[in-house]
């Protein structure tokens, strides 16, 4: 094909082009023109934005292929009684680089999922619901309810598995929430995301999407789970219980780890699922939705020199419940008498206080130290064993949404509703 010199405005998406700048040459696919920038995808998979006023020459090497008709793809994705429903909520997996700011923003259309993970559409009838476009740090408890309602509706319409694509920073909050809001479950609800935006060569989105589809179709459990990389390679993902998992690294592909439990399963790129746990919650005949949540719950981190002022502040502002991530087995610095007086005030006001451990692994135990015995003597305080702090925070919202009676809230928090409490811990569950 003969090359010819053209203007930037005449380029089309997918054109293979060569750009010359200051005696440098860049080859790649044209993505878009944005104000004074030309964005191209290099062969390495990375995108670069080139200032137009610095371009000496642009040459078309090969014209891009025309995309498939969108109308046909939409019809295929919106079949009734789908095998899988994908509910998109935003996050990095739905993001591309914003070249104006240099950051990423959730701006990807759901069609793009099928472009970056072509084998996704081979997994049967797939419906896509674009529910919201939010970065996970902006997710609210009311958003968890929206996700739960959409998943419930999709299940009632015949979907055999649900995938929720979301941001990773607070994914373990959302996956915990759905374990209570949708309980019992007749199908898997699979949360997935990515640590790298979809336009980066190192993106983990394509693998996570495909393996989540395998999980949604074939995982035997009826529970809310997370499907993300198990290691830095793309060979397999872990399937983790949604309310016993945590994001443990800011950027690694294998950031999510199981807490006080082994992974439920491995899912491989060939579709094979290897069950690893005897604690998988079996599918029930019908899914039940309980969308009652009380958002007026606060989370406090215990620390040396902590006083009772923060507890008093929340009580004075009429908080309905608190979770304290305490040290070790659930200790608080009781030598500071303001802590003791604040706990007494919370007891008098009937404000439930849930104690978890900031050690992350292990369980609280109110009988080990004298200070713990003193704390556990308060009628409004409940220790929740090996429940993670994030899950306890979400569960207290759920408990208060279903009852304002202190004894009933304590009973709900102490009862194992969806596998969030595990009585027996094993040596090889630590730092998996």
Residue 424 belongs to a domain: no
Please tell me whether residue 333 adopts helix, strand or coil conformation.
Answer: coil
3-state secondary structure 117-176: CHHHHHCCCEEEEEEEEECHHHCCHHHHHHHHHHHHHHHHCCCCCEEEECCCCCHHHHHH
- Judge whether 427 lies within some domain: no
Are 365 and 307 members of one domain?
Answer: yes
pLDDT in tens, the chain (432 residues): 444 444 666 788 778 888 888 888 888 888 777 667 888 877 665 667 788 888 888 888 888 755 444 444 444 445 578 999 999 999 888 876 665 555 666 666 667 788 888 899 899 999 999 999 998 999 999 999 999 999 999 999 999 999 999 999 999 999 999 999 999 999 999 999 999 877 666 789 999 999 999 999 999 999 999 999 999 999 999 999 999 999 999 999 999 999 999 999 999 999 999 999 999 999 999 999 999 999 999 999 999 999 999 999 999 999 999 999 999 999 999 999 999 999 999 999 999 999 999 999 999 999 988 888 899 899 999 999 999 999 999 999 999 999 999 999 999 999 999 999 999 989 999 999
Q: Which two tokens stand for residue 366?
A: 């109110």
**CATH number of the domain that 345 lies in?**
3.40.50.40
Question: What CATH number has the domain bearing residue 237?
Answer: 3.40.50.1170
Out of 222, 241, 275, pick the residue that ends a domain: 275
44 and 76 together in one domain? no
Same domain, 20 and 94: no
The answer to whether position 27 is within a domain reads yes
Looking at the structure, tell me whether residues 210 and 351 fall in a common domain. no
- For residue 350, what pLDDT is reported? 98
Local structure of 198: helix, strand or coil: coil
Convert the pLDDT of each residue in 43-72 to its tens digit: 665 667 788 888 888 888 888 755 444 444
Q: Is residue 422 part of a domain?
A: no
Flag whether 292 is in a domain: no
Q: Does 268 share its domain with 344?
A: no
Q: 259 and 184, same structural domain?
A: yes
Q: At what angle do helices 309-316 and 337-349 cross, to 10 degrees?
A: 20
Clarify whether residues 37 and 163 are in a common domain. no
| Own/partner pairs, 413-419, CB within 8 angstroms, 24+ separation | 413/352, 413/354, 413/382, 413/384, 414/382, 414/384, 417/179, 417/180, 417/183, 418/179, 418/180, 418/183, 418/223, 418/224, 418/243, 418/281, 419/179, 419/223, 419/241, 419/243, 419/244, 419/279, 419/281
- Show which of 62, 82, 106 is a domain's final residue: 62
**Positions marked catalytic:** 92, 168-169, 247
Specify whether the CB–CB gap between 40 and 26 falls below 8 A: yes
Same domain, 135 and 244: yes
Whether 431 maps to a domain, the answer reads no
Q: What is the pTM of this model?
A: 0.84
Range of the domain at 189: 70-275
Tokens of 191: 């949360």
Asked if 148 and 89 sit in the same domain, the reply is yes
Are residues 184 and 117 part of one domain?
yes
Q: Is residue 201 part of a domain?
A: yes
Give the residue among 283, 284, 156 at the shortest CA–CA distance from 220. 283
Could you give the number of structural domains in the chain? Answer: 3
Is 25 found in the same domain as 127? no
Sign for the pseudo-dihedral over CA of 130, 133, 139, 141? negative
- Answer whether residue 361 is part of any domain: yes
Res 24: pLDDT: 87
What is the CATH number for 19? 2.30.30.520
Do 216 and 93 reside in the same domain of the chain?
yes
């Amino acid at each position: 094909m003969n090359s010819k010199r053209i203007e930037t405005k005449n380029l089309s998406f997918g054109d293979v082009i060569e750009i010359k700048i200051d005696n440098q040459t860049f080859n790649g696919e044209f993505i878009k023109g944005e104000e004074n920038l030309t964005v191209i995808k290099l062969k390495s998979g990375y995108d670069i934005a080139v200032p137009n006023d610095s371009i000496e020459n642009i040459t078309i090497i090969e014209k891009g292929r025309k995309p498939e008709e969108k109308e046909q793809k939409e019809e295929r994705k919106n079949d009734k009684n789908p095998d899988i429903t994908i509910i998109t909520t935003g996050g990095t997996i739905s993001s591309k680089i914003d070249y104006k700011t240099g950051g990423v923003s959730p701006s990807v259309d759901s069609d793009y999922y099928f472009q970056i993970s072509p084998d996704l559409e081979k997994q049967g009838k797939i419906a896509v619901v674009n529910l919201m476009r939010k970065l996970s740090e902006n997710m609210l408890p009311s958003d968890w309810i929206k996700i739960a309602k959409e998943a419930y509706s999709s299940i009632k319409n015949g979907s055999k598995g649900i995938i929720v694509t979301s941001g990773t920073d607070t994914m373990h909050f959302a996956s915990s929430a759905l374990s209570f809001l949708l309980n019992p479950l007749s199908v898997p609800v699979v949360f997935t995301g990515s640590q790298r935006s979809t336009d980066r060569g190192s993106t983990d989105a394509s693998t996570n999407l495909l393996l989540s589809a395998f999980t949604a179709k074939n995982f035997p459990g009826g529970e809310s789970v997370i499907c993300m990389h198990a290691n830095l390679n793309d060979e397999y993902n872990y399937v983790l219980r949604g309310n016993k998992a945590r994001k443990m690294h800011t950027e690694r592909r294998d950031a999510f780890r199981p807490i006080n439990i082994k992974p439920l399963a491995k899912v491989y790129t060939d579709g094979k699922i290897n069950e690893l746990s005897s604690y998988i919650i079996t599918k029930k005949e019908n899914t039940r939705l309980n969308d009652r949540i009380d958002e007026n719950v606060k989370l406090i981190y215990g620390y040396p020199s902590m006083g009772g002022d923060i507890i008093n502040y929340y009580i004075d502002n009429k908080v309905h419940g608190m979770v304290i991530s305490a040290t070790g087995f659930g200790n608080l610095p009781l030598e500071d008498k303001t802590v003791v007086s604040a706990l007494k005030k919370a007891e008098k006001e009937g404000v439930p206080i849930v104690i978890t451990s900031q050690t992350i692994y292990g369980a609280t135990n109110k009988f080990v130290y004298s200070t713990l015995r003193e704390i556990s003597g308060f009628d409004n305080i409940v220790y929740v064993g090996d429940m993670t702090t994030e899950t306890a925070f979400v569960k207290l919202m759920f408990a208060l949404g279903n009852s304002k009676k202190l004894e009933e809230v304590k009973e709900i928090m102490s009862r194992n509703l969806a596998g969030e409490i595990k009585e027996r811990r094993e040596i090889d569950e630590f730092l998996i």
